[in-house]
Amino acid sequence: MSGGPGTPVVGAGGLGREAAVLAIDLGTTEAKVGLVALDGRLLGLSRAGYATDGDSSAGRAEQDSEAWWGAVGLAVRELVRLNVGDIVAIGIDGHGPTCVAVSDDGRATHPAIIWQDTRSTAEQAELAAATGLHGWSLAGLPAALWLERHEPDAAAATRWYLATWDVIALRLTGRATTSLAAGQPFPDPSVLDAAGLPARKIPPAVAAGTVVGEVSASVASALGIRSGTPVVAGIVDAWASYHGAGMVRAGDAMDAGGSAGGFGVYWDRPLDVPGSFSTIAPLPGLYSVGGAMAATGRAVDWFRVDVLGGGWTTETLIAEAGAIPAGADGVVFLPYLAGERSPLWDPTARGAFAGLALSHGRANLTRAILEASAFAIRHVAESVVAAGAEVRTMRVCGGPARSETWNQIKADVTGFTVEVPAVLETAVVGAGIVAATGVGAWPDLAAAIRGMTRASRQLRPDPGARGQYDATYDAYRRLHPAIAPIVRDLAAASARAGPR
């Protein structure tokens, strides 16, 4: 079949059902599985969670990749029971950079070392010096090298080191691959061998969007899907969210939402931005400039569950915060509950409330947390814009984007026009976009992004709020360096005291 640049080229599904792609989004806290129509509509969504095992004092953050597979299976079976679409392909995205050590058949030989883990800092510096690659370009290789050096028994049992999306593809098809986004560099195997990371444990590289295999008969029977369904090489969840948010040209920006939070903008050339990334984007002629935070997305849940005891819903807390004026009546919050990545890159950073008084209550603190998430975006975005990028609009996504209060705070704090996608599960849609392109439903990735995404509404900055937010943002920026020495002293004292 053939179609124009704005028309999908795969026909209707079988049995009178609409053709759709099965999109698997392996997030940090849960797996989401969606049925995405070839025009981007979300026909159905299911999810299942899993836990992180960690020790922040040791820098350890791990997950059980077998639990991922169990969650994916549970979510797929639940979704398939809806019987709302005929699956023509499967796409996958996942959190990262994460290192998954597995046997030949994809079963875990060691807990997955996820992106929050900081034990491989030395290996990252070593590989950066040897390869010339930095940050996300090294993917999970530093963690793999750390495992080779510090967990010899697990390393000896490991056949493959994979990314999150690659291990799910292996479980579906039986074929191990390393999926690389367009233009993504990869180290020379001899360099890895010389560093002590056996290159034979890195499977063959394929381009993201390539069909890497078909669903095996045994897996198809277990999941309730058709044997032989094409499985498309996946991507990191950040790229998937970019695609699903509709980012396709220079000046398109996004608030990544999610557990960590992040900001990125497409630009027509690489930029040197201290504390941020500048990488080749998965679209021709574009670069992605921005950064990822550590825990701004989890701060509201931390406050709701761990501080308040879970007696309020997120919606109730945000509604209360909406009645508090800009600036939270003088309360400012640092969202560094797991250290901070961009732009500080300080694992010792910690969260704090400042300006508290007896007149402040739950709503003020919630408001300060919401504002802090926007301040964190502005902190990254300011340096990106200063380096030469321009922001046309900023997309928002995920759960926070459901709140008009939160969206307006982000618009007012950053000064950007905020655009809300019609489907907020942008990573799910993005994985679907890659899968649809991979099986020829669209002529190319850019056409698929344009054809499968749309905005539902825009929010413009309120000029009247700018002065208050500028003052509070200034306090936010000065607070971390002011308390950092005290925080480090507290951490040292706690370490000396030992566990209780």
Residues 44, 3 contacting (CB under 8 angstroms) = no
Instruction: Report pLDDT digits (tens) over 85-137.
Output: 899 999 999 999 999 999 999 999 999 999 989 899 999 999 999 998 877 78
Instruction: Report pLDDT digits (tens) over 202-238.
Output: 999 999 999 999 999 999 999 999 999 999 999 999 8
Mark whether 175 and 300 lie in a shared domain: no
Of 237, 264, 284, which residue constitutes the final position of a domain? 237
pLDDT for 183 beyond 80: no
**151 occurs within a structural domain:** yes
**7 occurs within a structural domain:** no
Residues 171, 106 contacting (CB under 8 angstroms) = yes
Angle between helical axes of 314-322 and 362-386 (0-180°, round to 10): 80
CB atoms closer than 10 angstroms to residue 86 = 16
Residue 491's pLDDT band, with cuts at 50, 70 and 90, is confident
Cα separations in angstroms, 378 against 4, 135, 155, 205, 374:
39, 21, 41, 36, 6
**436 occurs within a structural domain:** no
Query: Mean of the per-residue pLDDT values for the chain?
Result: 93
Instruction: Report pLDDT digits (tens) over 285-316.
Output: 999 999 988 888 889 999 999 999 999 999 99
**430 occurs within a structural domain:** no
Mark whether 20 and 155 lie in a shared domain: yes
Mark whether 257 and 381 lie in a shared domain: yes
CB atoms closer than 10 angstroms to residue 353 = 18
Mark whether 205 and 350 lie in a shared domain: no
pLDDT for 1 beyond 60: no
**31 occurs within a structural domain:** yes
Residue 4's pLDDT band, with cuts at 50, 70 and 90, is very low
Of 183, 206, 237, which residue constitutes the final position of a domain? 237
- Give the mean model confidence (pLDDT) for residues 314-320: 97
- CATH number where 316 lies: 3.30.420.40
Residues 108, 170 contacting (CB under 8 angstroms) = no
What pLDDT is stored for residue 15 in this prediction? 46
pLDDT for 10 beyond 90: no
Mark whether 232 and 298 lie in a shared domain: no
What pLDDT is stored for residue 8 in this prediction? 56
pLDDT for 318 beyond 80: yes
Cα separations in angstroms, 191 against 11, 144, 196:
46, 14, 9
What pLDDT is stored for residue 85 in this prediction? 84
Mark whether 324 and 471 lie in a shared domain: yes
What pLDDT is stored for residue 132 in this prediction? 86
Mark whether 492 and 370 lie in a shared domain: yes
What pLDDT is stored for residue 6 in this prediction? 55
Residue 258's pLDDT band, with cuts at 50, 70 and 90, is confident
Higher-pLDDT residue of 75, 9 = 75
pLDDT for 9 beyond 70: no
Q: How many domains does the chain have?
A: 2
- Give the mean model confidence (pLDDT) for residues 444-453: 98
Predicted model pTM: 0.90
Alpha carbons 389 and 491: distance in angstroms, whole number:
38
Could you tell me what percent of the chain has a pLDDT over 90? 82
Mark whether 84 and 230 lie in a shared domain: yes
What pLDDT is stored for residue 16 in this prediction? 52
Mark whether 355 and 498 lie in a shared domain: yes
Domain holding 207, by residue range, is 14-237
Q: Which two tokens stand for residue 126?
A: 């070593």
Instruction: Report pLDDT digits (tens) over 376-406.
Output: 999 999 999 999 999 999 999 888 899 999 9
Mark whether 309 and 217 lie in a shared domain: no
Higher-pLDDT residue of 185, 155 = 155
Mark whether 165 and 282 lie in a shared domain: no
Higher-pLDDT residue of 495, 377 = 377
pLDDT for 454 beyond 70: yes
